[in-house]
């Protein structure tokens, strides 16, 4: 069953704590993405990864960093979380080039208090 798996589904952190969101895919997709979704703002791209150790900033990278050491795994790290990083975070993956339809994970709801 081809899918994108995100862990954890729900997370509560205190301001200033470090946060690690994990994403895995079993489709050998080269490209992976991290988005956040906020009411009224739609989906905003945080980072994109074209393959192992080949990462590029998206539209809102400030306050985030990523790690991709294996093709099937892409992590989003928040160093010293802020309350305005409370959001729903989605990971997605796709083939690179043509027929690059996205497959999304189920999302992680992060609350920073």
Nearer to other proteins, 59 or 62 (CB): 59
Give residue for tokens 């998206």.
58
Residue 1 touching other proteins (CB under 8 A): no
Task: Compute the distance between CA of residue 66 and CA of residue 46 in angstroms, rounded to an integer.
Answer: 9
Residue 106 touching other proteins (CB under 8 A): yes
Site mask for other proteins (CB under 8 A), range 38-77, x = bound: --xxxxxx--x-x-----x-x-------------------
Task: Compute the distance between CA of residue 94 and CA of residue 25 in angstroms, rounded to an integer.
Answer: 10
Nearest to 35 by CA among 48, 26, 19, 53: 48
Cis geometry, peptide bond prior to residue 108 (ω within 30 degrees of 0): no
Q: Which stretch binds other proteins (CB under 8 A): 18-26, 68-76, 79-87, 91-99?
A: 91-99
Residues near other proteins, by CB under 8 A: 31, 40-45, 48, 50, 56, 58, 88, 90, 92, 94, 96-97, 99-104, 106-107
């Amino acid at each position: 069953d081809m899918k994108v798996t995100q862990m954890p589904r729900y997370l509560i952190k205190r301001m200033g704590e470090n946060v690690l969101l994990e994403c895995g895919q079993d489709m050998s997709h080269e490209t992976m993405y991290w988005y956040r979704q906020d009411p009224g703002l739609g989906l905003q791209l945080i980072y994109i990864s074209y393959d192992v150790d080949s990462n590029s900033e998206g539209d809102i990278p400030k306050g985030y960093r990523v790690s991709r050491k294996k093709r099937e795994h892409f992590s989003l790290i928040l160093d010293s979380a802020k309350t305005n990083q409370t959001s729903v975070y989605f990971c997605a993956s796709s083939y690179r080039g043509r027929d690059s339809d996205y497959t999304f994970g189920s999302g992680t709801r992060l609350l920073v208090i």
